[in-house]
Amino acid sequence: MFKKLLIANRGEIAVRIVRACAEMGIRSVAIYTEPDRFSLHVKGADEAHFLGDEPLAGYLDPRRIVNLARETGCDAIHPGYGFLSESAEFARICSEAGIAFVGPSAEVIARMGDKTAARAAMREAGVPITPGSEGNLADRDEALTVAEQIGYPVMLKATSGGGGRGIRRCDTPDQLAQAWDRVISEATKAFGSAEVFMEKCVVDPLHIEVQVLADAHGGVIHLFERDCSIQRRNQKLIEIAPSPQLTPEQRSYVGKMAVRAAQAVNYENAGTVEFLVKDNEVFFMEMNTRVQVEHTVTEAITGVDIVREQLRIAAGERLAYRQEDVRHQGYAMQFRINAEDPKNDFLPSFGRITRYYAPGGPGVRTDTAIYTGYTIPPYFDSMCLKLIVWGMTWEETLNRGIRALNDMRLQGVKTTAPYYQEILRHPDFRGGHFDTGFVPAHPELLNYSVKRNPEAVALAIAAAIAAHAGV
């Protein structure tokens, strides 16, 4: 096993990795830029190294990070998610330096990061894909021709895209013609590539993803699925495991397809195969070659520590589980508590957290890097914590989610928590009837009123009096 590991990330995922290292007897090394000087991952790691005042540059410089890992005696690097986690160049530089990259090989990252190459690999492996262009589109005219062949609506997508960026739905030729330049521009700015392709738009499907683990010895298993259908503008808000909407037959099928997809590209480490499910049809969408934000709900229903398994696999060990060893129990739900104002078109609400208490009780987990007095910087993603609840039944999980969201105290910034309570109370959601169209179909859920907590009001009054008195 590794002796020392550098965490090439920040925030809650860096804290998560620090904790895994501590449990496994691995020394952890954090990196940070000026806005993260007082972050929890810096405080929690065995060592922390400053990368400069510029907020993002240090986290995005693969050679500097690898050189630092060598200087500090690290034998492995965990990229977390985001930043360089799906950078084939980063994985290659690690390999050349003799440092283990906790993830798949550079070749696999490059292949699966190229959406058209990934579609081709899945087609060859017999994994169902959505109808679309055979490869990248040459120009607007070819896009219009392909759209006419497969039928509207279509999705115009950046080949190297991800995170909901570089995607446009087009319902008519005019919309497609207008979207072409915008997607090209967005893809170039966000991903450094102007290549785009096209898929048939599956209207209001279920967004189902399957967690896989694969080692270097040919072992590949899945850890069942997550339902990520509750999303806004292709950004996930609530994730659920397992899906309350799949039949046992569908669950078995998507699991087998995910394993087949991983085997087809000789995958190693943790990965996620994403599907669209409409009625009884299943279509491969993409594969994420890293740990997912929502890995927590899979851990909750299976008891498998995914980050621990990532480290074991990267160290050359065999999977700790066979497929028949993995069972799921109950339901788990994760809420991405973002520092945003849902009532104001989800405008980011960065600033100082004046008070934070995490909810607790049976079946409640929080993954975060915030604390009372912490200032959420405006340079990064707006997610400030992940709240995860688990229950033996769907109804118990729903009720526990409402209770935990209500118990949480996060003041100083506006968050998405009150909005999630409205979703959990909606009869369609409670009945397990929802898809990717749920959020846009229910704008009335944004008409909630924030209930004032008497204790919070008393504290605010006391703080105002103290400030006025110069205390």
pLDDT digits (tens, 9 = 90+) for 111-163: 999 889 999 999 999 999 999 998 899 999 999 999 999 999 999 998 877 66
What are the phi and psi torsion angles at 200 (to 5°)?
A: -65, 135
What is the CATH classification number for the domain harbouring 359? 3.30.470.20
Q: Are 33 and 51 in contact (CB under 8 A)?
A: yes
Instruction: Identify the H or E element spanning 212.
Output: strand 206-214
241 and 148 both lie in a single domain: no
70 and 33 both lie in a single domain: yes
Angle at 270 between CA 264 and CA 275, to 5 degrees: 60
Q: Considering 200, 233, 251, which residue would you say is the last residue of a domain? A: 200
33 and 72 both lie in a single domain: yes
SS3 state of residue 41: helix
CA–chain centroid gap for 298, Å, is 13
328 and 395 both lie in a single domain: yes
Q: Residue-wise pLDDT tens for the chain (471 aa)?
A: 999 999 999 999 999 999 999 999 999 999 999 999 999 999 999 999 999 999 999 999 999 999 999 999 999 999 999 999 999 999 999 999 999 999 999 999 999 998 899 999 999 999 999 999 988 999 999 999 999 999 999 999 988 776 667 889 999 999 999 999 999 998 888 788 889 999 999 999 999 999 999 999 999 999 999 999 999 998 999 999 999 999 999 999 999 999 999 999 999 999 999 999 999 999 999 999 999 999 999 999 999 999 999 999 999 999 999 999 999 999 999 999 999 999 999 999 999 999 999 999 999 999 999 999 999 999 999 999 999 999 999 999 999 999 999 999 999 999 999 999 999 999 999 999 999 999 999 999 999 987 655 455 555 555 555 555 554
Question: Quick check: is 111 in a domain?
Answer: no
How are the residues of the chain apportioned to helix, strand and coil, as percentages rounded to the nearest 5? 40, 25, 35
- Please state the length of the chain: 471
248 and 351 both lie in a single domain: yes
Angle at 9 between CA 7 and CA 15, to 5 degrees: 70
d(CA 1, CA 293): 25
272 and 402 both lie in a single domain: yes
Question: Quick check: is 86 in a domain?
Answer: yes
What are the phi and psi torsion angles at 241 (to 5°)?
A: -140, 135
Instruction: Identify the H or E element spanning 332.
Output: strand 331-338
378 and 320 both lie in a single domain: yes
Residue owning tokens 């070659």: 289
Question: Quick check: is 188 in a domain?
Answer: yes
**Angstrom distances, CA of residue 2 to CA of 22, 23, 69, 317:** 12, 13, 13, 11
Q: Are 403 and 421 in contact (CB under 8 A)?
A: no
The domain in which residue 363 lies consists of 206-446
* Catalytic (active-site) positions: 290
What is the CATH classification number for the domain harbouring 141? 3.30.1490.20
Sign of CA dihedral 429, 435, 439, 440: negative
How many domains does one find in the chain? 3
423 and 406 both lie in a single domain: yes
SS3 state of residue 450: coil
pLDDT given at position 471:
46
